[in-house]
Amino acid sequence: MCNNQANMVLLGEVFPNFEAETTEGPIKFHDWLGGSWGILFSHPADFTPVCTTELGAAAQLAPEFAKRGVKMIAVSCDPVQSHKDWIKDIEAYNHLAGAFPYPIIADEERRLAVQLGMLDPDERTAEGLCLTARAVFVVGPDNRLKLSILYPATTGRNFHEILRAIDSLQLTAQKKVATPVNWKLPVDHRASLAAVKSALFAAFALDSFAAYDAFVTRRLQPGESADVYLADLRRLAELFGGVPDRTLSCAFVNGLPDAARQVIRAGSRAEALDLPSVVARARAVLSDDRVATVAAATAAPPSGGGGNRGGTQDAEAVMAARVPRRPRSRRCWACGRLGHLAAGCPQGNGTGSGAAVPDPPDRVTRRSVFAWCGRLVAHLPVCGWLRPAAAWVKRRANAVTRGWDDVTTDALLQSQISHVHSRLLAADPARGQWCWTGDQAIVWTDASSIAAGVVIETPCGGVMEDACWLRPGDAAATHINMAELDAAVRGLNLAVAWGVTNIDLRTDSATVHRWVDDALSGRARLRTRAAGEMLIRRRVDLIRQLANELELKVTVTLVRSEENLADALTRVPKEWLRDECEESRMSVMADDGAGDSAARGQVVVGAGAADAVRSSVQSVHERAGHPGVRRTLFFARRDVSRDVTRALVRAVVTTCDVCRSIDPAPVRWRHGSLEVAAVWERVAMDVTHHQGRSYLTVIDCGPTRFTVWRPLGRADAVEVTGHLEQIFLERGAPKEILADNDTVFRGRRLASLVARWGIALRFRAVHEPGGNGVVERCHRTVKVIAARRRCPVSEAVHLYNVTPRDGRTADTAPAAGVYRYAAGDKCMVLPSISEDDAKKLFPAGVEVHEVPSGKKYIRTTPQPQ
């Protein structure tokens, strides 16, 4: 990730003990350091001019670092072999002799760069990844961070300044001193305490009068500790000749806040306290947040002149309540240390739980299932497929139990729990970096008939948070576009909670993309005639108001379903859905009774046969272009079995992923008076578009609704009249043509064509329901088939023409009203012919071959003379 604030190791914290591959072999950092000082510095990339000069300068200064007992190591995101090849260039350019003095770490997966916050968000590679910044980390012998400097990728470093900083760090680690600006001590003076004091006093030189004035007026600063305050008092006292400890103790107490000063004075009167005791008591008073909180809560406000109504209060508690509370230090619950939160903990800043996967409950109750699922997902921001699976398991537990502690032996619930546990043991999805701050994010949203899902991703590709919401049972009637819009609203809410102001909203719903994009850009008003029009408008307005009031920069991107990261959060295993549908069907059959089933001619089959029938119905549904229940039932009874039930077909269509993902909003067409009784007497033509191509469509206004689609290279009069004349030559000319008032249909070329064929040309109103009912319904159906089946438009037109309009009889198919012969269709699977049957059916000299699809074809070979 490109954001570094949450990942930087703080001063005084233990530096991560990472393992890495280097040019000198694998290392473990703390073992490699070996209790000495160390410097780790990063560079953006190998074979770059600035980095070549930097690492060459560091290599030239390697003897100086060695004199100070400092080990050197570099790091970048390039592989080891690239480092080794680049070292030759560094040595040649900087005239280095001998072996290269320090190793270089290969951080190809950028784990160390992300962990240490060494990424530069303003500089990126050609692939869009953030370059490694020029960071410097100085680690002490205790493996704790002593110094960190972060340069942008465009600015080179001064290694002489880094040497000066190391001199200061090593000096202040041995002596209780502070080095001033531009401080640099000669090497021969570093071992002499007197020389160090002399240099420091010269740097901080004050005259006696100024030092005494500063000593008298010195007070404890907000957030300053008692020890730092006392050390500064000692320094000032030494500048004007020094004072005894008793005087220093009085000056120390006098500089404390009023409430703390009164508490310490009250204790000093009772017993004579020396300077260490006074300082110890000051530490206790200044750090006692609990006493200050309780006293402040119980202290009565001062009144005009009446005294305390609630009785006498403890004097020390009242005075402690007036002590200004110090800001509470941030404490990490993961490692227990101060100075950072768990989100930025260097010892564990991933999404993984860090513990073994908990075993499923032995005694399955609603309470135990909910507790087990909570341990899996409740405390983790990124869970992937586990989140909807856990929610589905809890829904099943609710369905099969009445109370929280009722034991259940439901087989489906047990199998679902076992499936989740085994899959978790194989691959736990709760992993990856998620500690992130910034103002840019990618929001992936998706919805299905099962759930709505949202994934928040960083610009560098790291997932920050994901979430899913199971849709309630009564939401099955809610259109998928409404669910997709709800998911978009929830995704924006999650992104705003992260403090994001630049949001890239990504959805795989073309309808939601158009609604939101038009609303945010103001390019067009919302146009919909769905049943929930007012609900849609309210949600779109909510998105626009969020963007305006919170000053969000929201862009909307349409993506494919396969690329949508939120798609996995809207699915559960198909076996769970099939098992529950089968359970519902079996319960209904049991309620009806075996006698009634026999009377109706229904046959109860085993589970294996039921799965085979369901699979066959699913195949028929896909081959037919994913039609609705009525037409799928027709093809299933024709190609699978006459005993296929409507309930089974409805279950197949309802759970079809393709039908759920591509499901236009329903539209009711008012029938007009443009329909005629004869076939091919009146046709309606139009130019439509699909997947970036233009098509000329001709639809019969008679009872067949037979259609012909022809691709157009250019939507002009020349191509349109050429295709029309070819259709008339093949199928005959109609008596009348309906067209809208497109300029292509109102030109002289088309008028000449219809005059030559003796055809009446009528123009219909574009927005008149009676005129659009014939054309638009055909366009809609063919485009849905092409999108769901992912087939060419020509194949979708074929499936449209061979599908019965009433869903029951083959004679109502558009092709049946035009062709006098029984035309074959792509929905039907021809039976395979065995070799024995081929010998009986075909005479000698005829070879039978099988094509890859399973069908047969024959080829005749000449007989010998």
Q: Which CATH number fits domain 682-817: 1.10.357.10, 3.30.420.10, 3.40.50.300, 3.40.309.10?
A: 3.30.420.10
Q: Where are the beta strands (DSSP E) in 575-700?
A: 682-690, 693-700
Spans of all domains in the chain: 19-174, 203-302+311-321, 366-426, 440-570, 574-661, 682-817, 830-865
- Compare 340 and 690 and report the one with higher pLDDT: 690
Q: Which of 2, 51, 460, 656 is catalytic?
A: 51
Report the half-sphere exposure of 642 (CA within 13 A, side-chain side).
1
The pLDDT value recorded for residue 393 is 93
Cα separation, 740 vs 240, whole angstroms: 101
pLDDT-wise least confident of 73-87, 128-142, 595-609: 595-609
The pLDDT value recorded for residue 672 is 55
SS3 of 442, please? Answer: strand
Check whether 801 has a pLDDT greater than 80: yes
Identify the bridge partners of residue 445 per DSSP, sorted by sequence position.
Answer: 454, 507
Model confidence pLDDT, tens digit, residues 804-821 = 888 778 888 898 888 888
The pLDDT value recorded for residue 124 is 75
Check whether 330 has a pLDDT greater than 70: no
SS3 of 466, please? Answer: strand
Alpha helices in 459-509 (DSSP H): 480-497
The pLDDT value recorded for residue 327 is 44
Cα separation, 357 vs 422, whole angstroms: 10
Cα separation, 647 vs 649, whole angstroms: 5
Q: What number is the average pLDDT over the span 385-398?
A: 92
The pLDDT value recorded for residue 653 is 86
The pLDDT value recorded for residue 303 is 38
Check whether 311 has a pLDDT greater than 80: no
Question: Distance of CA 441 to CAs 352, 383, 502, 505, 741, Å?
Answer: 22, 18, 7, 9, 46
Work out the angle at residue 658's Cα, subtended by the Cα atoms of residues 652 and 662, and round it to the nearest 5 degrees.
125
Check whether 313 has a pLDDT greater than 60: no
- Compare 373 and 333 and report the one with higher pLDDT: 373
SS3 of 560, please? Answer: coil
Check whether 654 has a pLDDT greater than 70: yes
What average pLDDT is seen over the chain? Answer: 78
pLDDT-wise least confident of 91-105, 152-166, 257-271, 480-494: 257-271
Identify the bridge partners of residue 467 per DSSP, sorted by sequence position.
Answer: 454
pLDDT-wise least confident of 256-270, 331-345, 378-392, 735-749: 331-345
The values of phi and psi at residue 259, to 5°, are: -65, -45
Question: Distance of CA 386 to CAs 347, 433, 466, 483, Å?
Answer: 25, 17, 11, 21
pLDDT band at 593 (very low <50, low <70, confident <90, very high): very low
Q: What number is the average pLDDT over the span 244-263?
A: 85
The pLDDT value recorded for residue 843 is 57
Model confidence pLDDT, tens digit, residues 438-469 = 789 999 999 988 899 999 998 888 888 899 99
The values of phi and psi at residue 860, to 5°, are: -85, 130
The pLDDT value recorded for residue 435 is 60
> What proportion of the chain, given as a percentage, has pLDDT over 70?
74
Q: Which fold has domain 440-570?
A: Nucleotidyltransferase; domain 5 (3.30.420)
pLDDT-wise least confident of 349-358, 462-471, 653-662, 852-861: 852-861
The pLDDT value recorded for residue 604 is 44
Q: Is the dihedral of CA 545, 550, 552, 558 positive or negative?
A: negative
The pLDDT value recorded for residue 719 is 92
Q: Is 55 exposed, middle or buried (0-12, 13-18, 19+ CB in 10 A)?
A: buried
Check whether 277 has a pLDDT greater than 90: no
pLDDT band at 209 (very low <50, low <70, confident <90, very high): confident
The pLDDT value recorded for residue 241 is 80
Check whether 793 has a pLDDT greater than 90: yes
Identify the bridge partners of residue 760 per DSSP, sorted by sequence position.
Answer: 736
Please choose, from the candidates 344, 414, 421, the residue with its C-alpha nearest in 3D space to the C-alpha of residue 375: 421
Q: Is 714 exposed, middle or buried (0-12, 13-18, 19+ CB in 10 A)?
A: exposed
Structural tokens at position 8: 């930087």
Cα separation, 643 vs 645, whole angstroms: 6
Element (H, E) at 81: helix 80-94
Structural tokens at position 657: 């992923």
Work out the angle at residue 421's Cα, subtended by the Cα atoms of residues 420 and 425, and round it to the nearest 5 degrees.
115
Residue type for position 409:
T
- Compare 46 and 864 and report the one with higher pLDDT: 46
Q: Which of 31, 85, 122, 142 is catalytic?
A: 142
Check whether 608 has a pLDDT greater than 90: no
**What residues contact 96, with CB distance under 8 A and at least 6 apart?**
56, 59, 60, 90
Model confidence pLDDT, tens digit, residues 289-310 = 433 433 333 333 433 433 333 3
Cα separation, 570 vs 564, whole angstroms: 11
Cα separation, 367 vs 359, whole angstroms: 15
SS3 of 506, please? Answer: strand
Model confidence pLDDT, tens digit, residues 146-205 = 999 988 888 888 888 888 888 888 888 877 677 777 666 555 555 555 665 565 555 555
Is 541 considered catalytic here?
A: no
**In the β-sheet with 502-507, what is the strand arrangement from edge to edge?**
463-470, 451-457, 440-447, 502-507, 553-558
Q: Which CATH architecture has domain 19-174?
A: 3-Layer(aba) Sandwich (3.40)
The pLDDT value recorded for residue 614 is 84
Q: Which CATH architecture has domain 203-302+311-321?
A: Orthogonal Bundle (1.10)
Is 682-817 in the same CATH topology as 203-302+311-321?
no
Q: What is the DSSP string of 107-139?
A: -TT-HHHHHTT-EEEEEE-TTSPEEEPEEEEEE
> What proportion of the chain, given as a percentage, has pLDDT over 90?
24
Check whether 673 has a pLDDT greater than 80: no
Is 51 considered catalytic here?
A: yes
The pLDDT value recorded for residue 566 is 92
User: What letter would DSSP give residue 816?
Assistant: G
The pLDDT value recorded for residue 809 is 84
Cα separation, 5 vs 568, whole angstroms: 30
The pLDDT value recorded for residue 226 is 83
